[in-house]
Structure 1
Amino acid sequence: MGGSKILIVDDELIVRESLAGWLERDGHQLKTASSGEEALAMIEESRFDIILLDIKMGGMSGLDVLKAVKENDPDIAVIMITAYGSVNTAVEAMKHGATDYLMKPFDPDELGILIERIEKQQLQALENQYLRQEVRERTRFESMIGQSKAMQKVFELIRDVAPTDSTVLIRGETGTGKGLAAKAVHTLSRRCAGPFVSINCGAFPEQLLESELFGYQKGAFTDAKETKKGRFELAHGGTLFLDEIGEISMRMQIDLLRILEDHVFYRLGSTQPLEVDFRVIAATNRNLEQAIRERSFREDLYYRLNVFTFEMPPLRERKEDIPLLAAHFLHRFAQETNKPVERISRDALDEMMLYEWPGNIRELENAVERAVVVAKGPTILPEHLPIFSPDQMTLEPADQSLKELEKAHIVKILEQHQWNISKCAETLGIDRSTLYSKMKRYGIRKKD
């Protein structure tokens, strides 16, 4: 095959010259080093495909060089050069990542065969990498459905930011798919093999959120029966997704800012610092700029999070995606419930297209699930949908703001369910904590 960039490391000049002469005739690019220290300096400046490394050298040993090389770049192929009596050392080197070993005196044909085999393995690995990338490209947004211009823009932004390690802030209303977007960024990133750890910051009271994020040592408090790793620690090597970041307390914001700056934290009850490596993706449905003005969100934390931002469009602004989304949910829930529901009627789809979906995709998902459950035949009809009819919707004043419409819709749903928070949250397609947050924000209280 030929053409590989090869580094020969041996303290004997005759060995370096012999190997270089044979390999140059096969079309390889050759560099030589007379010591381990010199080799490591050359590796820092340039990348090699294959290293021929003598085990016994004056100064730094070949085994030590191997360990340093593999720590810096595990993918470099290293062939250990050994004398007859050092086979056991060569085997030990294999355990530390060496690809193979070559015994003195050298056979040029054996060397050529060995190099060619390694080149084929590297080519196969490269092809597999491309194949994996191709599969990831095909499936990158498999759970994010949309052909609208708004969603195509989101896909483009995700492609742009995913390969970097930049902090990402995803904004958008509840139920727009911020969590799916965060998972897509992780899947397309170089951290994709690492963990994707998520936490809804609005779903926990402050003290419980602290233990969830930081973890705790055994005995840190009364119920700490054993040591528990927190989300910061669990996300090491991967991505930490902080959903509803706008709901955390000011005290927790200070702690979070410190960790985002130096990636060092302490478990509760521990004095041992832990260093972690994770990428942060945050999401919020709040207006953080307004929260800063109201002094409920720290400006320095905002700038730490707001490195790369994009917004998930609400469903009312991408209605051309409704038929695709509805068909996807229909297929899924029909399979899960083992019901022969196959299609959505034209009238039902028209009603979906006219509805404003304040709960966004999550509300649509719940509506289709309910429709599949109550449908008696193969077709979903308008009466199977738990949404307001177009006639009811036209009664809303046209000049109302989105916040006023959302508040009015929440009050209607609360009254329909006699203020049962769990049922109301389910109908709206949001969790209880988010509903409580919205009620507090809009000043919604049950009348006496």
Structure 2
Amino acid sequence: MDILVVDDDMAIREAAVQLIEDADHYAEGAEDSALAMDALKSTNFDAVLLDLYLAAENGLDVLEKIKAKYPRISVVMITGMGSIPDAVKATQLGALDFLEKPFSREQFALILQRIKRHRVLEEKVEELTEEISNTQPTARYTSRSKVMQDSLDILFRAAASSASMLLLGESGTGKSMVAKEIHARSSRKNKPFVTVNCPALSKELLESELFGHVKGAFTGAIRDTRGKVHAANGGTLFLDEIGELPKELQPKLLRLLQDWEYERVGETKTQTADVRVIAATNRDLEEEVRNGEFREDLLFRLNVISVELPPLRQRSEDLVTFAEKFLEFFAKQYRRDVKKFSKKAIETIQRYPWPGNLREMRNAIERAVILVRGDEIEPEDLPNSNVKIAGKNEEADGPWIGGEFTMDEIEQHHMERVLETTSTLSRAAEILGINEATLYRKRKRLGMK
């Protein structure tokens, strides 16, 4: 490691430099903050040993200056007797540890080990972060589709505020990814982004997941838990599929949105939390309100900024771009020499309605990259359902994405094909991302049987 020792006491400074070099590391010394900052500019140091008192300078001020400009450098404060409270404050400002003077060779060796372990952990985090990024295609927040551009423009202009947001759209349209991007563009970006999947748990477990519980609140509650609201304090709470939130929990969420207050399960003490709520659903919440399944006042609170993310079939301008990005990503991930789609494969992609949206396209392209025999993807390399439905469209000369057809014609054609390939209305409604009542109304409006 490369370590900088900043101390105005020459004896201490030289002794520390010698101990660092004896441990086979590189070291430099500086007697004040000006020399220290110059040294940090010229050398990529891993750590700084910083005296708490530098003649007329306060080491805490120097610590803040170093961490502001070089946040990844580990800083260990060197303190004298009786300055432990200041050392504790230093750790709150970002110092890794503190070393009390006078120190022994053994104490100094332990500090070096601590710095080394911290450095190794940081490198491991960097490796894992890179590994994770390599398993996910880069999200795109630009679009050639005007309807998508307009949606993103509204969301990202409002990102800096703390207003609640409601993301609407079919399953697979990227609502969770957009929610993360909103958080990343907000003033809360350095605070947690916490997701709660509303349909995943029973009412009782979901309440505990959200608000936490105290020991003994219910069978299996063997210890106190804080809950996701507490975990998201200062940051963003993303409620996925909010339309599935049980009616019994809706007043409690409304109270959180109105007053920032809540209680843990089994406790009467009021807790507070400063969270920005982003909710997402593929349901028609206004219809749910009319049916008595969703509170109107809660919808108003969630609906401060509301945007619908259009399905992929309404973004024909982006279809090929997304497909090519997925192809490039998966070819690299699986080390396959697959360069492009054939002309017929492109036509198949453009004609297919993609009821599962981006999630379905990702899976389809990943499968094609794994199974393709050559360096070019053909229609037969895509999942059978894609080829079959796209083929029907072509044979029947029906409307297809990107053609000169009205939205009603495309919507009717898509619903007909989905109804043909599903055994129940509920399954068709699930694929279409609407409820059965909405499906019934749309079929009636379009004159479908």
Say yes or no: TM over 0.5.
Answer: yes
**CA spacing shift, 1:413–1:226, aligned 2, 3 Å:** farther
1:230 matched to 2:227 = yes
1:266 matched to 2:263 = yes
Describe the superposition over 1:314-350 as per-residue Cα deviations: whole angstroms up to 9, x where unpaired: 1111111112211221122223333322222121011
CA RMSD of aligned residues (A): 3.6
Describe the superposition over 1:252-276 as per-residue Cα deviations: whole angstroms up to 9, x where unpaired: 2122111211112122222332211
**CA spacing shift, 1:326–1:437, aligned 2, 3 Å:** closer
Aligned partner of 1:220 among 213, 217, 221: 217
**CA spacing shift, 1:349–1:159, aligned 2, 3 Å:** same
SS of residue in 1 equivalent to 2:366: helix
C-alpha deviation, 1:228, in angstroms: 2.6
Describe the superposition over 1:334-381 as per-residue Cα deviations: whole angstroms up to 9, x where unpaired: 233333222221210111111111211111111111211221122111
Cα pair 2:367 2:382 within 8 Å, conserved: yes
Describe the superposition over 1:416-439 as per-residue Cα deviations: whole angstroms up to 9, x where unpaired: xxx9x9xx9xxx9x9xxx669968
Structure 2 residue aligned with 1:246: 243
Cα pair 1:169 1:282 within 8 Å, conserved: yes
**CA spacing shift, 1:406–1:287, aligned 2, 3 Å:** farther
Give 1:382's aligned amino acid. P
Structure 2 residue aligned with 1:393: 393
Counterparts of 2:168 and 2:292, CA distance in 1: 20
Greater Cα offset, 326-335 or 296-305: 326-335
Aligned partner of 1:194 among 191, 194, 198: 191
1:179 matched to 2:180 = no
**CA spacing shift, 1:232–1:188, aligned 2, 3 Å:** same
Q: Structure 2 matches for 1:76-155, cutoff 5 A?
A: 96=89, 143-148=139-144, 149-155=146-152
Cα pair 1:151 1:313 within 8 Å, conserved: yes
Give 1:173's aligned amino acid. E
Give 1:194's aligned amino acid. K
Counterparts of 1:393 and 1:165, CA distance in 2: 46
Structure 2 residue aligned with 1:327: 324
C-alpha deviation, 1:389, in angstroms: 4.1
SS of residue in 2 equivalent to 1:357: coil
Gaps of 5+ in 1: 1-65, 76-86, 100-140, 444-448
Aligned partner of 2:294 among 284, 292, 297: 297
Cα pair 1:206 1:249 within 8 Å, conserved: yes
Counterparts of 2:413 and 2:292, CA distance in 1: 26
C-alpha deviation, 1:312, in angstroms: 0.8
1:211 matched to 2:208 = yes
C-alpha deviation, 1:190, in angstroms: 0.3
Counterparts of 1:268 and 1:437, CA distance in 2: 33
Counterparts of 2:322 and 2:173, CA distance in 1: 12
**CA spacing shift, 1:95–1:208, aligned 2, 3 Å:** closer
Aligned partner of 1:287 among 259, 280, 284: 284
C-alpha deviation, 1:284, in angstroms: 1.4
Counterparts of 2:207 and 2:432, CA distance in 1: 20
Structure 1 residue aligned with 2:45: none
Aligned partner of 1:255 among 252, 256, 279: 252
SS of residue in 1 equivalent to 2:167: strand
Cα pair 1:197 1:241 within 8 Å, conserved: yes
**CA spacing shift, 1:225–1:406, aligned 2, 3 Å:** farther
Give 1:278's aligned amino acid. V
Q: Structure 2 matches for 1:56-71, cutoff 5 A?
A: none
Aligned partner of 2:347 among 347, 350, 356: 350
Counterparts of 1:436 and 1:150, CA distance in 2: 19
Counterparts of 1:224 and 1:436, CA distance in 2: 39
Counterparts of 1:229 and 1:268, CA distance in 2: 10
C-alpha deviation, 1:225, in angstroms: 2.7
SS of residue in 1 equivalent to 2:374: coil
**CA spacing shift, 1:401–1:239, aligned 2, 3 Å:** farther
Describe the superposition over 1:90-147 as per-residue Cα deviations: whole angstroms up to 9, x where unpaired: 9967975899xxxxxxxxxxxxxxxxxxxxxxxxxxxxxxxxxxxxxxxxx9513543
Q: Structure 2 matches for 1:337-376, cutoff 5 A?
A: 337-376=334-373
Counterparts of 2:421 and 2:368, CA distance in 1: 18
Counterparts of 1:158 and 1:172, CA distance in 2: 14
SS of residue in 2 equivalent to 1:164: coil
Aligned length: 307
**CA spacing shift, 1:279–1:377, aligned 2, 3 Å:** same
C-alpha deviation, 1:206, in angstroms: 2.2
TM-score (norm 1): 0.60
Counterparts of 1:439 and 1:311, CA distance in 2: 16
TM-score (norm 2): 0.60
Aligned partner of 1:377 among 374, 377, 384: 374
Aligned partner of 1:307 among 301, 304, 326: 304
Describe the superposition over 1:382-431 as per-residue Cα deviations: whole angstroms up to 9, x where unpaired: 0111203434136579997888766655555556xxx9x9xx9xxx9x9x
Cα pair 1:144 1:180 within 8 Å, conserved: no
C-alpha deviation, 1:158, in angstroms: 2.5
SS of residue in 1 equivalent to 2:190: coil
Structure 2 residue aligned with 1:117: none
